[in-house]
Amino acid sequence: MKLLLKKWFQSTVFCIAALLLTASVLPAQDLSYEKGTDAYAKKDYGTAVKYLREYVEKKPNAHAYYLLGYAYYKLNNHPESMSAFKEAYALDPGVSPWSGKQ
């Protein structure tokens, strides 16, 4: 009985630890998206590029690429802008500024 209880306890601790580690990584990705969109809204395009690039490297997302393309465009970096727009349309041909986070 003690062995069974010990195994159950070890399994439970392992599962909780795994959930906590996974949960700590996911918000960091969403935080970079939020920071990027906030910076874009404030017309801080350099910061928007930094955070949106970080986000799409970890989690490719059509809307994030779309905003990244516009941020690069506002910085007059047209080759990078075109590249980001191509990525956005490759992921979702119907992406638009109104499509929101996917």
Is the predicted pLDDT of residue 24 greater than 90, yes or no?
A: no
pLDDT computed for residue 9 by the predictor:
47
Is the predicted pLDDT of residue 2 greater than 50, yes or no?
A: yes
Tens of pLDDT, residues 46-97: 999 999 999 999 999 999 999 999 999 999 999 999 999 999 999 999 887 7
Q: By C-alpha distance, which of 3, 5, 54 is closest to 28?
A: 54
Q: Where are the domains of the chain?
A: 27-91
Question: Is the pLDDT higher at 89 or at 100?
Answer: 89
Instruction: Give CA–CA dist 76/11, Å, rounded.
Output: 54
Tens of pLDDT, residues 5-20: 555 545 554 445 555 5
76 φψ region: left (φ > 0), alpha (ψ -120 to 50), beta (else): left
pTM as predicted: 0.68
CATH 3.20.20.70 is held by the domain 27-91 = no
Which secondary structure element, helix H or strand E, spans residue 30, and what is its range? helix 2-41
